Amino acid sequence: MRQGRPHSQTMCQLRRRIPLVLVLPVLLMGTGAVAQQVYQPPGANLTFGDVTHGMRALSASSNPAAAAADRARESDRAKSGTAPSVAAGVEYGNIQELWDFYDEFSQAFAKSDSDENIGGPGQLPGDKPDDGIDLGQIWDLLDPDIEAELQSIARQAATKAAALALIRTEGYGKAWVAADVPVVFKNERLGGTWTLHMHWSGTARAFGLVDDIEFSPEEARAAINDWFETDVASRPRILPIGDQIRLAIDELGNVSFSLENDSLLLSQASQLAALSVGYGRPLWSGGAGTLFGGAKAHLYSMRLSRYAVRFGDITDSEELFDEIRDADFESDVRAGVDLGVLWVARNYQLGAQLRNINEPDFSFPDVSVPIRDEELLQRLSRDRTYTMDRQLKLEASLFTSDRRWSFHLAGDADSATDAVGNEYQWLTASAGYNGGGFWVPGVRFGYRKNLAGTEKEYASIGTTLFRYVNLDIASALDTSRIDGQKLPESFMVSLGFQVSW
C-alpha cells in the first residue's frame, strides 16, 4: 500500500481565531438576566477577602452580623449608606485557543450515526472527513511486519488520551459578571440594624467531558495480523482495533485513524437575581468586646441553561457560540437563609458565617446528545441539579490602635460548587491602609488561593479614590499564551462607590 496524503488543512487557516474567554461574557449579557454571587465578594472585598474589614462605614461583608458591628463602631455618627459595585472576571485553562483546539482535535473522533438527529451550527457531522485523521505522514506502508504500524497506532492513541487528560483538567473557559447594591439603614428596628441587598450576577463555562480511550496492544496486533492473513481482494476497508479505535484503508492505500468515543463539549450558564433582607444586633457585651449576631434571608430567581455536543460532531466550534447563546433556560425561584456571628474587640475581631443553611436547589434543562457511555450519561443526569452547598466561612482581623492599618485572614472551612460546576474553597490574606486623605485615602493588598477545584492563586490590589470610589483588580499568578501574548489565566476587576446619608 502507498503512503496516504494528509487531509486538507485550509479550514483551520480560514476560520476566525476567537479565544473562548472573549466569547463567554457575551453569552452572559445576551439575555439580560444574571446569577448568584458564588465566586468573589464585591467591591473592596475583592482584595480584602470576605471579611468585615472595618476600614469604611460599610464593610459590605456577606457576614449577616457585619452591618450591626459597623453601625456600632460609628456610634452617634451612624448613617444610612450603600456601596454599589460592578465586577467582572474571566478564567481559562492552559489551552491557547480552545475553539480551534476543539476543531482540530475533533477530526479524530467518529461522527454520530447517520440516523441520529444531529445538526446545527458548528456540529454538522456530514461535513467531517469520513475516516478521521490521515496516518500517511507517520505510517509508511502496511506490511506483514506489523510492529511499526502497531507503534504508530499506539502513539496516536496515547496522543489523543493525553489530549483528553488535558481537556479534563485544563480545557475550559469561564466568565462572570456581577453587580451588588447593599444598603444599611441607620435607624434601629426591633433593637437591631436592618439591611437590604440586591445582587445580580452571571457565570458561564464551557468544558470537556471525557470518555477515556481504551487501547490494547494485544488486540491491535491480532486485528492487524488477521487483516494481513485475509485474501487481498477480501480485505475490509474498515479495520476495528478494539472497541474504540478504527482504521480506514481506501483503494489507494491511504490509512486513516478515528475514534469511536463519546467525549463531548458541555456549556453551562447560570443567571440569577437575588433580593436579601438582613438583621443584626449585639448579643452580649463586656469589657473585652462585643458579640454580634445576624441573619439574612434571600429570595433567589435563577435561570439555568446548558448545551452539549460530541467531539465527533464538531465541525466549527466557533459557530456553536450562537447555538449555545440561544439555548433554552429553565427558571426556578427559591429561598435561602444565612447566619453569622462576629466578636469585636478593641484591636481585633473574629467572625463566622454559615451560608445556605437550607441548601436550595435548582434544575438545569435536560440535554439530548447521542452518546452511549453510561458514566457520561450518569454525569449529565447528575449535573442537571445544582444545589447551593451549605458552607462555613471564617474570618479574623487585626487593627492598629488608630485603625489606619488592618490585617485580615479569611477562609472557607469546606468546599462548595458553583452553578456551572466549579469547585471553590477560598483562603485569603490581606492588609490595608486608611490614611483619611481625599485623593487616595486608602490602599490595600491581598493574596487569595482556591484550595479546591482549579487551585489557582491570585494577587490583588485596590485603592479608594476621592473617599467614595473603590477600584480593585486581581490577577492569577499562572499565565498562558494566547495569540502569542503571555496573559494571566484569570483576571478580575471591581469598581464600586460608597455613599451615606
Burial letters 276-301, b for 16+ CB under 10 A, else e? bebbbbbeeeeeebbbbbbbbebebb
Alpha-carbon distances, residue 262 vs 85, 111, 115, 148, 212 (angstroms): 43, 10, 17, 28, 9
pLDDT of residue 212 exceeding 50: yes
Q: Using pLDDT thresholds of 50, 70 and 90, give the confidence band for residue 232.
A: confident
Least confident of 43-52, 183-192, 200-209, 228-237: 228-237
pLDDT reported for residue 34: 32
pLDDT, averaged across the chain = 80
CB contact at 8 A, 285 and 291: yes
151: left (phi over 0), alpha (psi -120 to 50) or beta: alpha
How many angstroms separate the CA atoms of 479 and 198, rounded? 34
pLDDT tens column, 58-104:
787 889 999 999 888 877 777 888 889 999 998 887 665 555 666 66
| Triad 430, 435, 441: Cα angle to 5° | 85
pTM recorded for the entire structure: 0.78
pLDDT of residue 19 exceeding 50: no
Q: Say which residue, 322 or 25, is predicted with more confidence.
A: 322
pLDDT of residue 293 exceeding 90: yes
Mean pLDDT of the region 174-187: 90
pLDDT reported for residue 26: 42
Q: Which CATH architecture has domain 10-106+171-211+262-500?
A: Beta Barrel (2.40)
Residue pointed to by grid coordinates 463555562: 205
pLDDT reported for residue 284: 96
pLDDT of residue 36 exceeding 70: no
% of the chain surpassing 90 pLDDT: 35
pLDDT reported for residue 397: 96
pLDDT of residue 124 exceeding 70: no
pLDDT of residue 138 exceeding 60: no
Q: Using pLDDT thresholds of 50, 70 and 90, give the confidence band for residue 135.
A: very low
Supply 190's cell numbers: 426591633
pLDDT reported for residue 351: 97
- The Cβ of residue 493 has, within 10 Å, a number of other Cβ atoms equal to 14
Mean pLDDT of the region 476-487: 81
How many angstroms separate the CA atoms of 187 and 239, rounded? 79
How many angstroms separate the CA atoms of 58 and 185, rounded? 11
pLDDT of residue 16 exceeding 50: no
pLDDT reported for residue 310: 84
Domain segments of the chain as ranges: 10-106+171-211+262-500, 135-162+214-259
pLDDT tens column, 359-412:
999 988 888 888 888 888 888 888 888 999 999 999 999 999 988 999 999 999
CB contact at 8 A, 393 and 427: no
pLDDT tens column, 310-333:
877 877 766 776 777 777 788 999
